[in-house]
Amino acid sequence: MNEQYAVLITGFPLFKGFTVDGARMLLDSGEVKEFSPGEVLIKEGDEPKFVLLVVTGRLQVFVQRQGRDLVLTDAGPGTILGELAVLCGIPRSASVRASEKSAALQWSAAAFRSLLLPMFFCRSGYSGSRSAPSSRKSAR
């Protein structure tokens, strides 16, 4: 089944240019979990312990206000959820539930951060220096 998920991941815009081997690396860094309709995956206010990549199905992001669910978005395949709370170390700002049978790749907070680090250093233009860029004036 992971092979099918690897092929799906290479088709997501966020992972454009990834090979199936690269997608397998993403899968090996986490765990694919399947969810039934209505199942709550993340609760607003919870501590951020993981990040999700929607692989199949649809997940609904919502908040509860005045006793009612306010749907913020419907997340489909290729969407990453929960990353801001993990990266900023803040409580979850919304809840997430499966709106249909779904599968998501779940990375622990530590695994997600370790996946991002090499991507940051491989960005074009990264010089490895923390100092501000110098402003050079050209001689005329």
Its domain, for residue 79, covers 31-115
CATH number, residue 68: 2.60.120.10
Residue 58 in tokens: 């649809």
Is residue 61 assigned to a domain?
yes
- Amino acid of residue 57: G
Cα 9 to the center of its chain, rounded Å:
12
What is d(CA 84, CA 61) in angstroms, rounded to the nearest whole number? Answer: 14
What pLDDT, on a 0 to 100 scale, did the predictor assign at position 119?
Answer: 57
Reading the block at residue 90, the tokens are 């803040």
In a domain, 2, yes or no: no
Number of domains forming the structure of the chain: 1
Residue 133 has pLDDT above 60, yes or no: no
What backbone torsions phi and psi does residue 137 show, to the nearest 5 degrees?
A: -100, 135
In a domain, 89, yes or no: yes
End-to-end CA distance of the chain: 63
Asked whether residue 96 is assigned to any structural domain, the reply reads: yes
**pTM of the shown model:** 0.82
Residue 94 within a domain: yes
pLDDT per residue over 12-34, tens digit each? 999 988 999 999 999 999 999 99
- C-alpha–C-alpha distance, residues 30 and 107, integer Å: 4
Phi, psi (rounded to 5 degrees) for 77: -55, 135
Residue 131 has pLDDT above 70, yes or no: no
| % of the chain at pLDDT higher than 70 | 83
Q: Would you say residue 90 lies in a domain? A: yes
Residue 47 domain flag:
yes
pLDDT of 139 reads 46
Task: Give the residue from 57, 44, 140, 70 showing the smallest Cα distance to 98.
Answer: 57
pLDDT in tens, 42-96: 999 999 999 999 999 999 999 999 999 999 999 999 999 999 999 999 999 999 9
